Chain A
């Protein structure tokens, strides 16, 4: 039901709508603002209201409702900003979201706290991903992005922003996008073209129905001379993106892209970032509510469970490159394979020894594992999930 609150095409709005104004569903409001047994500080610190007296009345006018709704609205607004790479807009909203939430408060406040943190982390990682791309494209004025599974193409507005704001103007910006549905490819292409033209970027879109692994000839990709090629490769655990692993690797060897960005993502929660976010918010609201009933308001145990388990899960769902739930074998294999065909990871400048000693020093406690292996940085949590940092370039 929360899905109905999301505007249809967030990518078209440069100024995200205030979602709280579109809230009509009583059920949704009730889900998020269900009263909670916590009797202490957290709510009483708000100047504008008193604690709700009845837990079942969701039509109530008291501030508990108002605060929960406001928090929900802000979260969605922030998520929309992140989805279209409006990092400044997202950053402006985060302080207020944080102020309205607390891991030691009522259910909505606790959910809000973890989602706020996840969004904050996402803002930072989006910025960093953009920086990596920016650096890789330094000095290039013709860019060709090949996206192995473009879907709605929500990854690309961020790049458009970067390229549009560079002093050295881009002469050509092309995206070749793979997908399974020609209708989706077409609408994605149109949307991206609109966005590019609003930024004054020269843009071409080349849709390819099918999978990259089946491409045997570079000419099928329309590669032109003097282009900086960026390959974007999103791994899914649920279905096969590439079609033929061997074929893909052969192609990458021929292509020798300037930069390959890979992302591990668990898509069992949905497709686009925004849809995933909304679904997760709904799910965890219910879950935190349930937890809230079972433990006392002050419960340290509940806090530990929420912070260590759900905080991580939420973070993983919201962050780009969340951990995949399948085993690590697949990841290692790709790393090796890429290496085998002549790519090396983009990593710290400086000697490998300096790298290694820096990384060896990092041992976070409380269930995280951090492993440096073959130049790849692997982050794990309680052996359940792995995130692999990945950006690769030709190793010459």
Chain B
């Protein structure tokens, strides 16, 4: 990978020369002194060393300085403090369940849709994967008349209108499209009915023969079957996995990939966020550092992308807090389809190569993605994976750090 990111586990270091300071400087997030990551890292180390007086002193300091409504340091301190506190009081599982239940209750079609659309408006974080995947799917299914796309994601179908448009405006005969959405996040299940209705209406308007199905009763993806998905012999199947594989328990990932293979797809598109919470899952400090690195990037990106008083940004930040607690303060063994242990592109590539071979994105698709990135604020770029390292796919980078990975595969 040609991006010049430093070792994933390093924290940016800043130097200090005085004993006390105060400032009202409106320094941009990330340009400051990163006091939060220092305190947090010290605390994580103290926890793994079981140094209880140090743990408590650091938690006290973090508690004094943290705020979920302040600058990035204060926010990171606040959300990570919550996870550390859960870990220290052994209440991670309970806290996560409470947070998830509350979020589900207050989630509505309107709020979810507004959130996703606003995020897509200000940041290519999600649209990057959509554009790349749609390009690969259209190219792989070119010439087919019966398409079946199996969408394993929680993107509320925001990926598909552009694909439907592309199908409708093709020169040859418009194919039939069956879209089967497999929903894994409990928060999303309740809104899928309305989404289905909208998709059907849109397809009608586009003049694309369309069928829509939702599968949401699963405990985990491993339960999917060809019959359950309604896959027929005369269909050309594409499987679209956006943020889906990270929800599978780590030990089951390879077998899920084999399951996907058994559906005989023409193409599989995989989009994941670029972080490794998986290989370090039994090493608290390493996992913590990686978590901190990733979410620092994410929070900084959110702060620069949204307006300062944005409720959408706040909701995205709160979603992070659930994930952080899940990764750092919950036991390894519990199912529920909300695993959240991300892996990097190179790790996913290693797994996918057991059942598939990579398909490079065509120049057209790469151009489309680059054109997409131009529509956003500066800082975003596309980086191709280095094929010789058994990597494949493309990375979305923000300030030269890879953040999202997209790839395409065929049997």
Contacts and interface: CB of A to CB of B under 8 A. Distances in A.
B77 to A, nearest CB: 9
Nearest to A67: B106
A368 B69 contact: no
Most buried by B among A46, A95, A96, A372: A95
B315 interface: yes
A389 B60 contact: yes
Contacts of B56: 128, 131-132, 135
A51 to B, nearest CB: 12
B213 to A, nearest CB: 25
A368 B68 contact: no
A370 to B, nearest CB: 7
A23 interface: no
A349 B20 contact: no
A361 B63 contact: no
Chain A interface size range: 35 or more
Contacts of A307: 67, 69-70
Given A362-B38, A367-B22, A377 B114 contact: no
B106 A311 contact: no
Contact of B65 (A102, A117, A349, A364): A364
A104 B18 CA distance: 36
Contact of A298 (B20, B61, B105, B309): B309
B5 interface: no
Interface in A76-98: 88, 91-92, 95-96, 98
B111 interface: yes
B64 A379 contact: yes
Interface stretch (A37-45, A254-262, A326-334): A37-45
A299 interface: yes
Contacts of A95: 95, 98-99, 102
Given A46-B106, A95-B99, A102-B314, A372 B19 contact: yes
A365 B23 contact: yes
Given A103-B69, A104-B309, A362-B39, A371 B20 contact: yes
Nearest to A302: B309
B41 to A, nearest CB: 11
A42 B311 CA distance: 6
Given A47-B107, A361-B38, A379-B64, A99 B102 contact: yes
Contacts of A131: 52, 56
Interface in A326-346: 346
A45 B110 contact: yes
Given A91-B95, A104-B310, A350-B54, A363 B21 contact: yes
A366 interface: yes
Most buried by A among B19, B68, B309, B315: B309
Interface stretch (A119-127, A151-159, A200-208, A284-292): A119-127
Contacts of A358: 42
A360 interface: yes
Interface stretch (B27-35, B223-231, B397-405): B27-35
B391 interface: no
B170 interface: no
B383 interface: no
A47 B27 contact: no
Contact of B89 (A40, A47, A103, A127): A127
A128 B51 contact: no
A58 to B, nearest CB: 24
Nearest to A114: B69
Contact of A125 (B25, B63, B67, B115): B63
A47 B108 contact: yes
Given A98-B318, A311-B67, A105 B311 contact: yes
B311 A311 contact: no
A289 to B, nearest CB: 18
A366 B24 contact: yes
Interface in B46-105: 51-54, 56-57, 59-61, 63-71, 73-74, 78, 81-82, 85, 89, 91, 94-95, 98-99, 102-103, 105
Contact of B22 (A303, A311, A347, A383): A383
Interface in A360-396: 360-372, 377, 379-380, 382-383, 387, 389
Contact of A46 (B64, B102, B108): B108
Contacts of B318: 98-99
Given A127-B89, A366-B24, A366-B71, A104 B53 contact: no
Contacts of A246: none
Nearest to B107: A47
Nearest to A45: B111
A92 B98 CA distance: 7
A98 B309 CA distance: 16
B63 A365 contact: no
Given A99-B103, A299-B309, A349-B51, A380 B95 contact: no
Contacts of A46: 106, 108, 111
Contacts of B310: 104
A199 interface: no
A364 B35 contact: yes
A364 B60 contact: no
Contacts of B38: 361-362
Nearest to A109: B311
B54 to A, nearest CB: 6
Contacts of A389: 60
Interface in B257-279: none
A66 B66 CA distance: 30
Contacts of A370: 20, 65
Contacts of B39: 362
Most buried by A among B19, B20, B89, B105: B20
Interface in B229-270: none
Contacts of A360: 16, 18-19
B312 interface: yes
Given A128-B56, A365-B27, A99 B106 contact: yes
Interface in B93-149: 94-95, 98-99, 102-103, 105-108, 110-111, 114-115
A160 B54 CA distance: 24
B308 interface: yes
Nearest to B55: A131
A300 B303 CA distance: 14
Contact of B61 (A102, A299, A362): A362
10 contacts: A47-B111, A98-B102, A99-B102, A99-B105, A114-B69, A124-B85, A125-B63, A135-B52, A365-B33, A382-B22
Q: Which 8 A-B pairs have the closest CB atoms?
A: A47-B108, A45-B111, A369-B22, A371-B20, A104-B309, A95-B102, A124-B63, A103-B69
Interface of B: 16, 18-25, 27, 32-33, 35, 38-39, 42, 51-54, 56-57, 59-61, 63-71, 73-74, 78, 81-82, 85, 89, 91, 94-95, 98-99, 102-103, 105-108, 110-111, 114-115, 307-312, 314-315, 318
